[in-house]
C-alpha cells in the first residue's frame, strides 16, 4: 500500500510539474518575437569544419546571436580559430560534459527564460532550407502547446550509398508519424540534440525525451558525419574519432 501511495504521489508531482511548465509558457509567450535574435547555442568538441559550415548557414539566413559551448576541446586548429577568428562568445568547459552540456554545465540558467536553439556542431542547414525556419518553428510551438521543441528534419535523400542503409535504419521512424501541416508536413519524431527551437524553462528530460516535432521539406538540415567516406574525411573528423575513442557506426557494414 505504501509503495502504491508513493508511486501515486510521484505521478501527481510529475503531472503538476508538466502543467506548471505549460502554464509558464502560455503566460510568457509573446505575440511577436524577434526570431532573428533568438540565442543559438552550439555544443562542440573538437569539431571545426562542420561548425564553421553551421555558423555560415546561420549567418546567411540572418541569425547572428550565436554562442558556443566547448567541451574541453584539444584540436589545435579549433583552439586557434577560437582565439583568432571566432566572433561569437565561447563558454569553455574544463571537461567533456557531453551532448547535454547546456543543462549539465548549468549554462541553461543563462538562456532558460527565453526561447532558444540548441544544436550539435555537426548539423548544417541545407541549402534549400528557407531563412524563416525559426519563425516557422515558433509558430508550430504556438499551435501545439504540449510540444517542447521543434526542429528541421534530417536530410536522407542524398546520403552516400555506402552509408545510406545504416542511416535509414536509425532514421526511418522519424518519417512515419505524419502531422498534417499547412504548406509542408510535420512529423512527430525524436530530435535528440540536433538543431531545434526550445520553449523557455524546458528541462533536460523534457527537451530530450518528450513531445517533439520535426519539420518536413524544405525545412531540412544535414547531419554531416553521414556524408563522410571512410577514406575521405576532414582532418578534424579523424581527430574527433581518435580522441573520442569511439568507432563510427556509419562505417560498419551489415
Question: What is the H or E stretch that residue 69 is in?
Answer: strand 66-71
Quick one: average pLDDT of 180-197? 89
| Co-location of 24 and 38 in the same domain | no
pLDDT band for position 203 (50/70/90)? confident
pLDDT at 174: 83
- 13 and 71 share one domain: no
Output the pLDDT for position 175.
87
**Same domain? 17 vs 55:** no
**Are 8 and 116 in the same domain?**
no
How confident is the model over 29-73, as pLDDT tens digits?
545 579 999 999 999 999 999 999 999 999 999 999 999 999 999
Q: What is the pLDDT of residue 172?
A: 86
Q: Which range marks the domain in which residue 225 is found?
A: 32-251
Residues 79 and 194 in one domain: yes
For the entire predicted model, the pTM comes to: 0.84
Residues 170 and 154 in one domain: yes
How many domains would you assign to the chain?
A: 2
- Taking each helix axis from N to C end, the angle separating 49-59 and 235-244, rounded to the nearest 10 degrees, works out to 120
Please tell me whether residues 24 and 135 are part of one structural domain.
no
Are residues 19 and 75 both part of a single domain? no
- Are 120 and 194 in contact by the 8 Å Cβ rule? The answer is yes
Strands 90-93 and 178-179: unpaired
- Same domain for 36 and 140? yes
pLDDT attached to residue 126:
98
Looking at the fold, whether 99 and 13 belong to one and the same domain comes out as no
Pairing of strands 40-44, 66-71: parallel
Give the per-residue pLDDT at 206: 52
Segment 75-102 shows an average pLDDT of 97
* pLDDT tens per residue across span 118-151: 999 999 999 999 999 999 999 999 999 889 999 9
113 and 160: one domain? yes
Q: What does each C-alpha distance from 125 to 70, 76, 87, 232 come to in angstroms?
A: 21, 26, 20, 22
39 in the same domain as 110:
yes
Q: How far apart are CA 146 and CA 26, in angstroms?
A: 11
Query: What's the whole-number mean pLDDT along residues 204-219?
Result: 77
Give the tens place of pLDDT for each residue, 148-162. Answer: 999 999 999 999 999
The CATH number covering residue 238 comes to 3.90.550
Percent of the chain with pLDDT over 70: 81
Amino acid at each position: 500500500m505504501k509503495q502504491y501511495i508513493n508511486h501515486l504521489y510521484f505521478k501527481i508531482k510529475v503531472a503538476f510539474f508538466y502543467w506548471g511548465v505549460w502554464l509558464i509558457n502560455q503566460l510568457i509567450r509573446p505575440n511577436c518575437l524577434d526570431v532573428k535574435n533568438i540565442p543559438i547555442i552550439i555544443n562542440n568538441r573538437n569539431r571545426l569544419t562542420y561548425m564553421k559550415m553551421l555558423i555560415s548557414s546561420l549567418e546567411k539566413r540572418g541569425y547572428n546571436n550565436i554562442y558556443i559551448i566547448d567541451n574541453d576541446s584539444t584540436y589545435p586548429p579549433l583552439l586557434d580559430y577560437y582565439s583568432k577568428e571566432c566572433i561569437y562568445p565561447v563558454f569553455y568547459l574544463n571537461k567533456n560534459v557531453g551532448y547535454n552540456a547546456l543543462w549539465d554545465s548549468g549554462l541553461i540558467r543563462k538562456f532558460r527564460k527565453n526561447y532558444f536553439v540548441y544544436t550539435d556542431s555537426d548539423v548544417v542547414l541545407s541549402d534549400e532550407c528557407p531563412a524563416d525556419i525559426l519563425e516557422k518553428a515558433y509558430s508550430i510551438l504556438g499551435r501545439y502547446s504540449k510540444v517542447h521543441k521543434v526542429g528541421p528534419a534530417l536530410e536522407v535523400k542524398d546520403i552516400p550509398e555506402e552509408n545510406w542503409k545504416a542511416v535509414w535504419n536509425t532514421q526511418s521512424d522519424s518519417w512515419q508519424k505524419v502531422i498534417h501541416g499547412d504548406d509542408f508536413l510535420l512529423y512527430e519524431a525524436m530530435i535528440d540534440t540536433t538543431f531545434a527551437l526550445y520553449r523557455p524553462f524546458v528541462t533536460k528530460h523534457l527537451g530530450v525525451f518528450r513531445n517533439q516535432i520535426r519539420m518536413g521539406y524544405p525545412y531540412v538540415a544535414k547531419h554531416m558525419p553521414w556524408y563522410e567516406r571512410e577514406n575521405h574525411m576532414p582532418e578534424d573528423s579523424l581527430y574527433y574519432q581518435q580522441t573520442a575513442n569511439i568507432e563510427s557506426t556509419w562505417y560498419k557494414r551489415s
